[in-house]
Chains A and B, each alone.
Chain A
Amino acid sequence: MNSYWLSFSIWVPIVAGLIVLVAGDRNLREAKAIALLGAIIGFAVTVPLVTGFQTGTSAMQFVEKAPWIPRFNVNYHLGVDGISVLFILLNSFITVLVVIAGWEVIKERVAQYMAAFLVMSGLLNGTFAALDAVLFYVFFEATLIPMYLVIGVWGGPNRVYAAVKFFLYTLLGSLLMLLAFLYLYNKSGGSFAVLDYHKLPLPLNAQIALFVAFLMAFAVKVPMWPVHTWLPDAHVEAPTGGSAVLAAILLKLGAYGFIRFSLPILPDASHYLAGLMITLSLVAIAYISLVALAQTDMKKLIAYSSISHMGFVTLGFFIFNAYGMEGGLVQMISHGFVSAALFLCVGVMYDRMHSRAIADYGGVVNTMPKFAALMMLFAMANCGLPATSGFVGEFMVILGAMKFNFWIALLAATTLVFGAAYTLWMYKRVIFGEVGNPHVAGLKDANPRELLILGLLAVAVLWMGVYPAPFTEIMHASVDDLLRHLAVSKL
């Protein structure tokens, strides 16, 4: 079956972004229209990936393969399995929202802003679809360029520091990953095909070295404690759309990398170092939750909450059972919706008040009741309330952890307490109570554009919470295959 839906999902947004760039700010109305159209078409072309997806198999689907750099046996090789297809869908969906979210809010260099997000969306789809290591690396690294510009050009006061820190942190990790790929290329007799690496036997010490190289790349992206320090800076300084994409998609690249590379290519090292990974994940879950509790800046609080939630994902992956793995994946998607929604909520308030400090708010519910209701839903989802998407993933991971080890499950479960504490406490201080100051008294409720974005996300969050089966069904075969793969030693 030859289809080009994956190529479309990559190139439609990129081409749209380039057209927007050429149109420029002189033709602002047209540029914006093209951006929205590009984002919507970009989302539309990912729909066939899901509708045409065969759930019974773990094989790669919608495969495209063409020689690209024969000199190094590099191919333009795309394909998705039940894991990656969901992220392509999520990414294209969030891109539409981000374009709408920036519609009126961004005042300077609007065309470049929209273009950066569209190009980034295409590159991210490419990262999730690439089955060739060099192709993956090219997409993975290329996302740095638009994100660097997004943070640096449209960000807050300390944006330059945040942008440079973000860039150098992620570059360090990915350069080591590049070396790992080159090592595998030499070991496998000249192949960059990721699926070939899955079968490649490797001695334990080589596996451990490669695992560490991959860990540097992916841990920085996830981000795992202790290499998480770039995230609060980048999130706080980035514009709303940038924060949403960072939290919803870019962080998923790291976790996706573990699933596509570390676990299947290096099963023995994964088992060998599982203790380390679980420890780091638990530190992220428990310690970072406490850090989040102490934040006075809303965006920083959500950023730390992201790190803590991503700790759940990595914990789920490294307890090596189906509950943990699927729970981690569900958590990734759910976190994509919830964190994007929370950042967009902060953005809605920030556009009116130009402050992110919790202390500057209070009693917002009195002036913005519709907005408060929607934000309530997302706050609840962030604490993992049943019937929201947040619950499904966390519950599955805790269930998986319980099978693995009671104490780990107990520690992981503390997040339900802490998560509720920091999210609801923030919510209470910002939304409830008496109207805190005259600025809050003058607030206008969310406009239709904002309601549309938050409404769409609310539907997604509730759908995943009430009826997650369509999501888990798609990933089921691939997860089973991954677990089977993990159980076989490659020594």
Chain B
Amino acid sequence: MISDLPIMLVAYPEIFLLAAGCAVLVIDLFLSEDARWVSYALSLASLVMCAVLTAGVTFKTGGQHATTFNGMFVLDPMATALKMFTYLAVTACLVYSRTYLADRGLYRGEYFVLVLFATLGMMVMISANHFLTLYLGLELMSLCLYALVALNRDSAVSTEAAMKYFVLGALASGLLLYGMSMIYGATGTLQIDEMASRVVRLLQADPPAKSAVLAFGLVFIVSGLAFKVGVVPFHMWIPDVYHGAPSSVTLFVSTGPKLAAFAMAIRLLVNALQPLAGETLQFPSGWQDMLVILSVLSMAIGNLAAIAQSNIKRMLAYSTISHMGFMLLGLLSGIVGGNALSAAEAWSSAMFYAVVYVLMSLGAFGMVLLLSRAGFEAERIDDFRGLNARSPWFAFVMLLLMFSLAGIPPTVGFYAKLAVLQAVLGAGKVWLAVVAVLFALVGAFYYIRIVKLMYFDEPAETAPVRARPDIGILLSANGLAVLALGILPQPLMQVCLQAIKGFQ
């Protein structure tokens, strides 16, 4: 047994978080309502510890590609980077949610446990090197999210959203699993890093072998993936879930899982099915062309539908759809005519976009939570009316976040768009870049409408905005990070580039 331990080294953070989640579950049983902060503190401490462990393990493996459990589980630079961002995002979620949950009687042990287990699911997805590992992580995350959405069980809207999420999510998982089984049937392996060479062998076989199974498998996998990422036409759940879930859960759903979904896309499409990216002898087009359709539709429907919303959570839900469409642009620009020379740049631009989106989404939903009070949900866009008169500082933070989401410099949202558009043009798809900027223009409209409400209109109420100091400071830091990373985007870009280069 002892000799096995070093093999598990790579998975220490996951093992720790599993234990920590169980511990919080048990400890919380013995806590009175007044001592709930212990669970909160323990959850935060677990995340910090995970970060320390991840850093330690990465240091131990020298930042190299390290696998364990017979190669089913991998720690590479991308996994390290994405996990670190996930811890940050989840920590921020917990801090932002505290007052909101306490005001609504949802400040309970289940919340922390479900969040921790969902985080564990994300970590497993990020580190998956095997279709089954990936699927296990995905299901662990999804099941926790379904329960989280229904956390406020007396709310009809929440339970309806959870039901919808569960049914559609199960369907998507089914699609994904079906696709995986077909790919397995064709290639005879579930191992992600062996997949590419086997697919190449199939593609080069003469006469062509198993092309129908491969094609169906790819289509099912892309569909399942599109659902989890939340792009059109698999987006129907997003507005309802974002709207129906308690705002603190919406915050959670819109952040960490996006990073995990990005990792899943990279593992499935880039690591495993890269040979099917573009045109091959047997297929006139591959997943890149599928993503073109998904991303154009997402940018179009996401941005156009967002304009018509009067609920800010629904508006941000549609904005998520359009941003994920934009993120796919980076993903689909990697391979040009079978040439993967500038692929790392393109994929890292997608990763940069995902990370930046999560940062902005954290701030935007954090603001929604900040403005909510006991018995009052700041859900309508009009609730932001005249915020500048009530709190100039938080209005400024929201201004930064909105301009960043719209992609206006000097905020970091601009560089995210710049990097992705550069990748698209580098791949020679000029028309796609033109379509993307036109929809970015449409998107700018509803973001500056929020700025308009905050700055140009008179407030409907004059109560000053009160925030716990920790929430206020973290939210301010979040807003300023959007500006600071906009002035100096290089470090984050470099992290993403190194992360993607790590597995090439």
Contacts and interface: CB of A to CB of B under 8 A. Distances in A.
B409 interface: yes
B490 A68 contact: yes
Given A138-B414, A171-B408, A185-B425, 11 more contacts: A69-B415, A72-B419, A145-B399, A160-B452, A164-B452, A175-B441, A176-B437, A178-B421, A178-B437, A182-B418, A182-B433
Interface string A163-182: 11001100110011011001
B418 to A, nearest CB: 7
B422 interface: yes
A185 to B, nearest CB: 7
Contacts of A204: none
A59 interface: no
Nearest to A123: B410
Interface stretch (B226-234, B237-245, B297-305, B443-451): B443-451
B455 interface: yes
Interface stretch (A147-155, A223-231, A304-312): A147-155
A227 B451 CA distance: 25
A68 B491 CA distance: 10
A463 interface: no
Interface in B423-467: 425-426, 430, 433-434, 437-438, 440-441, 444-445, 448-449, 451-452, 455-456
A186 interface: yes
B452 A179 contact: no
Interface string A184-222: 011000000000000000000000000000000000000
Interface SS majority for chain A: helix
Given A175-B441, A182-B422, A145 B455 contact: no
B422 A185 contact: yes
Nearest to A151: B456
A369 interface: no
Contacts of A160: 452, 456
A153 B455 contact: yes
Contacts of B285: none
Contacts of B448: 148, 164, 167-168
A131 B452 CA distance: 33
Interface string B115-126: 000000000000
A142 B441 contact: no
Contacts of B455: 149, 152-153
Interface of A: 24, 68-72, 109, 112, 134, 137-138, 141-142, 144-145, 148-149, 152-153, 159-160, 163-164, 167-168, 171-172, 175-176, 178-179, 182-183, 185-186
Contacts of A153: 455-456
A399 to B, nearest CB: 40
A71 B494 contact: yes
A168 B433 CA distance: 18
19 contacts: A69-B493, A71-B489, A72-B419, A141-B408, A145-B403, A148-B448, A160-B452, A160-B456, A163-B452, A167-B444, A168-B441, A168-B445, A171-B441, A175-B438, A178-B421, A178-B437, A179-B434, A182-B421, A185-B422
Interface SS majority for chain B: helix
A214 B15 CA distance: 55
B392 interface: yes
A179 B409 CA distance: 15
Contacts of A182: 418, 421-422, 425, 433
Q: For B425, B426, B430, B488, which residue has the most chain A Cβ atoms within 10 angstroms?
A: B425
Given A138-B410, A148-B448, A179-B434, A172 B490 contact: no
B497 A71 contact: yes
B82 to A, nearest CB: 19
B414 A179 contact: no
Nearest to B434: A179
Nearest to A152: B456
A131 B409 CA distance: 17
A24 B455 CA distance: 15
A69 B489 contact: yes
B441 to A, nearest CB: 5
A141 B418 CA distance: 13
Interface residues of B, number: 36
B409 A163 contact: no
A175 B437 contact: yes
B396 to A, nearest CB: 8
Contact of B490 (A70, A142, A183, A185): A70
A364 B357 CA distance: 57
Given A70-B490, A164-B452, A179 B403 contact: no
B403 A178 contact: no
A241 to B, nearest CB: 17
A197 B493 CA distance: 25
Contact of B409 (A112, A138, A149): A138
B426 A186 contact: yes
B425 A141 contact: no
A148 B438 CA distance: 20
Interface string B354-396: 0000000000000000000000000000000000100010000
A137 B410 CA distance: 10
Contacts of A178: 418, 421, 437
Contacts of A168: 441, 444-445, 448
A159 B490 CA distance: 38
A171 B440 CA distance: 10
Contacts of A137: 409
Contacts of B426: 186
A159 B409 contact: no
A176 B451 CA distance: 24
Nearest to A109: B388
Contacts of A171: 408, 441, 444
A153 B415 CA distance: 28
Contact of A183 (B409, B418, B425): B425
Contacts of B452: 152, 160, 163-164
A182 B497 CA distance: 19
A70 to B, nearest CB: 6
Contact of A142 (B392, B410, B434): B410
Q: For B409, B426, B430, B488, which residue has the most chain A Cβ atoms within 10 angstroms?
A: B409
A159 B488 CA distance: 34
A142 B408 contact: yes
A167 B442 CA distance: 12
Nearest to A169: B441
Interface string B464-504: 00000000000000000000000011100110010000000
Given A24-B392, A179-B437, A134 B494 contact: no
B445 A186 contact: no
A144 B408 CA distance: 9
Contacts of A176: 434, 437
B437 A69 contact: no
Contacts of B419: 72
Contacts of A152: 452, 455-456
Contacts of B418: 72, 134, 178, 182
Contacts of B437: 175-176, 178-179
A138 B489 CA distance: 13
Nearest to A167: B448
A70 B415 CA distance: 13
A164 B444 CA distance: 10
B268 to A, nearest CB: 26
A71 B409 contact: no
B493 A71 contact: yes
Contacts of A68: 488, 490
B347 to A, nearest CB: 14
Contacts of B494: 71
Nearest to A209: B430
A72 B414 CA distance: 14
B456 A175 contact: no
Nearest to A112: B392
A164 B408 contact: no
A322 B448 CA distance: 43
A300 to B, nearest CB: 21
B221 to A, nearest CB: 31
A72 B422 contact: yes
